[in-house]
Structure 1
């Protein structure tokens, strides 16, 4: 199954990592973000990266945040969604093990709901899923109210949550130990 648009989130602070984790080498790729872009291009016609500035070599297709001084997932969603008129799959760069079959399952509901996100026995993964461009204005309003938690946006939307047994596919690389685990795929 081929979908239209995917955006990889790569504009965070990486404070727990101590350096920009989106630029860390991963597998045979220059960066974790390049790994994600390559993987996701197998099922998306267009793959973009949301970032504050152009930092990737080789270059990737960018969507820049509208405010370079504030690190906010709500700002990122607002900046991304206003560019499209179709559902957008959004995924953090630091979540490299999400299966393509999982994305395809989520995509089955993308045109029916405002957001379609995965959950497992421990977490709802609010920044991984399909988001309707209808949410752009709501995200912008919340951002301007200094509200940055995606859960607030989803509370006021038609959301489909799909349960997945394999928690490991939603593993986030947040710190140096996580990075080492991800490189060894031993988590």
Structure 2
């Protein structure tokens, strides 16, 4: 496969206080809604999970689930596991707590990658966005090296060691970008997001 979309859903949801993946959106668990959204955007879809059993009741048989090989080691470790399990040229990472990620924006970002190893959005005030980004398979040695030395951060463990394409946020429609990168980490975030869900109905 050329490009695989990866939904990261293996976190503990400690700040939310309940499983973010199972939060209801019009009666549908958030993770199931996202799986449907990203299913046909690229050449494949992977759900990165801590355990398959956690999602067994959702009827997601058509979605490939990959269990973390380094449990509780964060998104960088999840990327390593997916790269080692699902061969592809590029991997688009998004997270289960990005409920409004826009496929059109993701495709536009993909078109800016060129020959870089990583392509991500540069925010004016928040740095780069590692979890709505593209990673080439060429990153795998650097990812593994970072994890082997105990470094879990994309910023310190990976980005300094690979070719990075940073796309300024002003290259994308402002409202669409803000919506796509809205992060639901806490109950307050989730409550704020309900208005956005109603606007998308």
Paired with 1:46 and 1:161, the residues of 2 have a C-alpha distance of 24
* Structure 1 moving runs of 4+ over 4 Å: none
Bigger helix share: 2
Change (3 A) 1:45 1:146: same
Is 1:58 the counterpart of 2:27 in the alignment? no
Change (3 A) 1:137 1:84: same
Partners of 2:9 and 2:96 within 8 A in 1: yes
Is 1:105 the counterpart of 2:104 in the alignment? no
- Gaps of at least 5 residues in structure 2 are none
- Gaps of at least 5 residues in structure 1 are none
TM-score, normalised via structure 2 length: 0.83
Equivalent position to 1:131, from 108, 132, 135: 135
Change (3 A) 1:19 1:106: same
Aligned residues: 182
TM superposition shift of 1:106:
1.1
TM superposition shift of 1:4:
3.3
Alignment of 1:168-187 (within 5 A): 168-185=179-196
Partner of 1:32: 30
Alignment of 1:143-158 (within 5 A): 143-152=147-156, 153-158=158-163
Is 1:16 the counterpart of 2:20 in the alignment? no
TM superposition shift of 1:67:
2.4
Paired with 1:4 and 1:75, the residues of 2 have a C-alpha distance of 19
TM superposition shift of 1:28:
4.9
The alignment partner of 1:15 has SS state of coil
Per-residue CA deviation, residues 61-105 of structure 1 (Å, 9 max, x unaligned), is 20111023x232221111112232310111111112222221011
Alignment of 1:74-85 (within 5 A): 74-82=76-84, 83-85=86-88
TM superposition shift of 1:111:
5.1
Paired with 1:183 and 1:49, the residues of 2 have a C-alpha distance of 24
- Mean Cα displacement is larger for which, 133-142 or 78-87? 78-87
Partners of 1:127 and 1:150 within 8 A in 2: no
- Mean Cα displacement is larger for which, 39-48 or 11-20? 39-48
Per-residue CA deviation, residues 10-50 of structure 1 (Å, 9 max, x unaligned), is 01111100111112112452x21111111112422311100
Q: CA RMSD in A?
A: 1.8
The alignment partner of 1:185 has SS state of helix
Partners of 2:90 and 2:134 within 8 A in 1: yes
TM-score, normalised via structure 1 length: 0.88
